[in-house]
C-alpha cells in the first residue's frame, strides 16, 4: 500500500476499532456485533457516514483476509459479517465539498499578489486539476516551456515521495499563459533554479499545502476593512470588520 493509505487504515484501526474488540474472539463476530460496534463508534465520535463506511470497509478487509487464511469460518464472501452490517442512522451527513469558481480563483490570485509561492500553489491546483500530492511533486526541470506542459511524475505525502495514485495519473498537464506567468514569477523569486521542486520551502523540500493555507493564505483572505490587519491581530479602537471585497476561503 501507499504510505498515505496505510496511515489512514492504521488510524481507523487504532482509534476506532481496536479499543472495542478486546472481549471478542475472531470466531464470535456476527453481523449484529459489527453493527453494534459501528453504532458505538458513531455515538462516541459523531462521525459522518462516509467515515463510518470506511471503518466498515477496514473491518470487511480484515474478515476477508481471515476467511482466505482459514481463520474465520465462511462458505462464501456473503458470510463476511462486516459487509452486511448497516451503517447507523446516527452518522451525520458528510460535509459538502465546494469547488472554487473561476471568479473566486481570480480573486484569490489578485489578493495573493506579492506572494509568489502561495499564488503558484493556487494557480497549479486551479489550472491543471492535479491532486495536492501531485502538485507538491512537480519539478522545474519537468516543465517544457516550448510544448507548454509539465510532467506529473510523482506524488508527495508529508515527506514521502512516491508514485501517483494510479498509472494513468502519470501524465502531462497543460500550462496556460496565465499559469506560465505565475510560475515565472515564482521561478524568479527562487533565483531561477534549473531543477528542484516548484512548490519548495526554504530547505528545498515540498511545502505542506495544508500548513500554507492555514498560515499564509486564509489570514490574507480575512483582513479588516478598517485597519487592513488580519483577523487574529489587535484592532485598536475598533472591532474587526472583515473586508467583504475579498474572496472567501472554503476551508
In a domain, residue 219? The reply is no
Domain count, the chain: 2
Question: Do residues 114 and 167 both lie within one domain?
Answer: yes
In a domain, residue 109? The reply is yes
Question: Do residues 75 and 173 both lie within one domain?
Answer: no
At residue 74, the pLDDT reads 86
In a domain, residue 227? The reply is no
Question: Do residues 39 and 115 both lie within one domain?
Answer: no
In a domain, residue 229? The reply is no
Question: Do residues 135 and 57 both lie within one domain?
Answer: no
102-111 and 116-128 are packed helices; what angle lies between their axes, rounded to 10 degrees? 170
Spatial contact of 206 and 156, defined as CB atoms under 8 Å apart: yes
Question: Domain residues for 11?
Answer: 3-79
Q: List per-residue pLDDT tens for the chain, 251 residues long.
A: 888 889 999 999 999 999 999 899 988 999 999 999 999 999 999 889 999 999 999 999 999 999 999 999 888 888 999 988 999 886 677 777 778 888 989 999 999 999 999 999 999 999 999 999 999 999 999 999 999 999 999 999 999 999 999 999 999 999 999 999 999 999 999 999 999 999 999 899 999 999 999 999 988 888 888 888 887 777 888 888 888 888 887 76
In a domain, residue 136? The reply is yes
Question: Do residues 26 and 118 both lie within one domain?
Answer: no
Question: Do residues 115 and 150 both lie within one domain?
Answer: yes
CA distances from 159 to 137, 205, 218 (A): 11, 8, 23
Question: Do residues 107 and 70 both lie within one domain?
Answer: no
In a domain, residue 194? The reply is yes
Among residues 79, 113, 146, the one where a domain terminates is: 79
In a domain, residue 166? The reply is yes
In a domain, residue 155? The reply is yes
Phi-psi domain of 195 (left: phi exceeds 0; alpha: psi -120 through 50; beta: other): beta
Q: Which three cell numbers stand for residue 52?
A: 463510518
* Alpha-carbon gap, residue 55 to 59, rounded angstroms: 6
Looking at residue 166, which CATH number applies to its domain? 1.10.443.10
pTM: 0.80
Question: Do residues 107 and 69 both lie within one domain?
Answer: no
Question: Do residues 152 and 183 both lie within one domain?
Answer: yes
Question: Do residues 70 and 118 both lie within one domain?
Answer: no
Question: Do residues 142 and 75 both lie within one domain?
Answer: no
| Tens digit of each residue's pLDDT (9 = 90 or more) over 173-223 | 999 999 999 999 999 999 999 999 999 998 999 999 999 999 999 888 888
Among residues 79, 94, 128, the one where a domain terminates is: 79
* Alpha-carbon gap, residue 193 to 187, rounded angstroms: 7
Question: Do residues 134 and 168 both lie within one domain?
Answer: yes
Amino acid at each position: 500500500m501507499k504510505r498515505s493509505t496505510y496511515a489512514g487504515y492504521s488510524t481507523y484501526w487504532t482509534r476506532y476499532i481496536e479499543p472495542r474488540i478486546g472481549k471478542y474472539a475472531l470466531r464470535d463476530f456476527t453481523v449484529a456485533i459489527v453493527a453494534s460496534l459501528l453504532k458505538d463508534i458513531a455515538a462516541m465520535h459523531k462521525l459522518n457516514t462516509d467515515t463510518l463506511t470506511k471503518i466498515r470497509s477496514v473491518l470487511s478487509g480484515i474478515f476477508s483476509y481471515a476467511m482466505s487464511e482459514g481463520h474465520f469460518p465462511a462458505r462464501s464472501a456473503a458470510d463476511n459479517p462486516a459487509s452486511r452490517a448497516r451503517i447507523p442512522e446516527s452518522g451525520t451527513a458528510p460535509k459538502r465539498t465546494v469547488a472554487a469558481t473561476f471568479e473566486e480563483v481570480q480573486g484569490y490570485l489578485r489578493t495573493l499578489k506579492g506572494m509568489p509561492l502561495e499564488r503558484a500553489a493556487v494557480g497549479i491546483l486551479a489550472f491543471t486539476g492535479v491532486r495536492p500530492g501531485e502538485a507538491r511533486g512537480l519539478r522545474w526541470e519537468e516543465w517544457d516551456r516550448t510544448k507548454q506542459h509539465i510532467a506529473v511524475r510523482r506524488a508527495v505525502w508529508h515527506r514521502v515521495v512516491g508514485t501517483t495514485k494510479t498509472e494513468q495519473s502519470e501524465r502531462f498537464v497543460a500550462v496556460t499563459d496565465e499559469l506560465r506567468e505565475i510560475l515565472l514569477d515564482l521561478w524568479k523569486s527562487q533565483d531561477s533554479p534549473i531543477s528542484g521542486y516548484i512548490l519548495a520551502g526554504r530547505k528545498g523540500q515540498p511545502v505542506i499545502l495544508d500548513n500554507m493555507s492555514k498560515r499564509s493564505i486564509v489570514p490574507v483572505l480575512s483582513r479588516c476593512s478598517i485597519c487592513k490587519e488580519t483577523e487574529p491581530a489587535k484592532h485598536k479602537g475598533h472591532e474587526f470588520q472583515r473586508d467583504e471585497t475579498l474572496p472567501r476561503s472554503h476551508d
